[in-house]
Amino acid sequence: MLITDDFLPVPVPESLDATYLVPIAGLPKVSPKTAVAALAGRLAEPVHGLAKQMLDSPLMTVDTRPIGEFPELPPDLLTAFGATEAQLARLAAATHLVVVQAEYRPGWPPAHEWAARAVAAAVAETVGSDVVDVFGLQFLDPAAALRSLPDEQGRIRLVDWVLVPYSSDADGLWFTTKGLRRFGLLELQAQGVPDHLTRAWGAVMTGAARRLLRDWTDGLAGEEVPAFVQLPVLATVTGHDIAVAYGNPEQHGATAPVLLRLELDPATDPDADSFLSLRPPPGHPGPAGRYFAAACATLFAGIQPDVRYARPGDAMSKAIATARAGLGDIRGRFLAGQLPAETQLVVKYGLPGDDGPEFVWAGVTSWDSAERIVGVSASDAATDPTVRIGAPVVIEATDVVDWALLDGTGVTEGGWTQAVLDAGERPQPD
Each residue's pLDDT, cut to its tens digit, for the chain (430 residues) gives 333 468 999 999 999 999 999 999 999 888 999 999 999 988 888 899 999 999 999 999 999 999 999 998 888 889 888 899 999 999 999 999 999 999 999 999 999 999 999 999 999 999 999 999 999 999 999 999 999 999 888 889 999 999 999 898 778 899 999 999 999 999 999 999 988 788 789 889 999 999 999 999 999 998 899 999 999 999 999 888 888 888 876 555 456 788 999 999 988 887 778 899 999 999 888 789 989 988 887 787 644 444 433 344 467 788 888 999 999 999 999 999 898 877 888 899 988 766 667 888 888 888 988 889 988 887 777 777 778 776 778 898 888 989 998 876 678 899 888 777 766 533 333 3
**What is the value of pTM for the model shown?**
0.71
- Does residue 347 share a domain with residue 232? no
- Does residue 165 share a domain with residue 99? no
Cβ pair 358, 381 in contact under 8 A: yes
**7 domain-assigned:** no
- Among residues 253, 271, 300, the one where a domain terminates is 300
**pLDDT attached to residue 31:** 93
- Does residue 220 share a domain with residue 130? no
Sheet of 392-396: strand order equals: 392-396, 372-377, 358-369, 344-351, 400-407, 410-414
**Coil, strand or helix at 123:** helix
- Does residue 168 share a domain with residue 132? no
H or E, element range at 239: helix 239-245
- Among residues 277, 300, 323, the one where a domain terminates is 300
- Does residue 286 share a domain with residue 165? yes
Q: What is the distance between the alpha carbons of residues 85 and 361, in angstroms, rounded to a whole number?
A: 39
Which residues 6+ apart lie within 8 Å of 108 measured at CB? 183, 217, 220, 221
**Coil, strand or helix at 322:** helix
Range of the domain at 217: 161-300
Q: How many CA atoms lie within 13 A of 140 on its CB side?
A: 28
**218 domain-assigned:** yes
- Does residue 277 share a domain with residue 187? yes
- Among residues 300, 331, 366, the one where a domain terminates is 300
- Does residue 110 share a domain with residue 204? no
Cβ pair 123, 28 in contact under 8 A: yes
Q: What is the distance between the alpha carbons of residues 38 and 118, in angstroms, rounded to a whole number?
A: 12
**pLDDT attached to residue 418:** 77
- Does residue 166 share a domain with residue 286? yes
**429 domain-assigned:** no
**3 domain-assigned:** no
**Coil, strand or helix at 336:** coil
Which amino acid, 119? Answer: V
Beta-carbon count within 10 A of 251 CB: 14
**84 domain-assigned:** yes
**Coil, strand or helix at 271:** coil
Question: Which residues are registered as beta bridge partners of 405?
Answer: 345, 413
**154 domain-assigned:** no
- Does residue 165 share a domain with residue 296? yes
**6 domain-assigned:** no
Inter-axis angle of helices 315-325 and 327-335, to 10 degrees?
Answer: 40
**pLDDT attached to residue 304:** 45
Tally of structural domains, the chain: 3
**pLDDT attached to residue 398:** 86
CA distances to 82, 221, 225 from 15, rounded to whole Å, are: 29, 15, 9
Which residues 6+ apart lie within 8 Å of 329 measured at CB? none
Cβ pair 225, 12 in contact under 8 A: yes
**403 domain-assigned:** yes
- Does residue 127 share a domain with residue 41? yes
Which residues 6+ apart lie within 8 Å of 111 measured at CB? 50, 54, 59, 102, 104
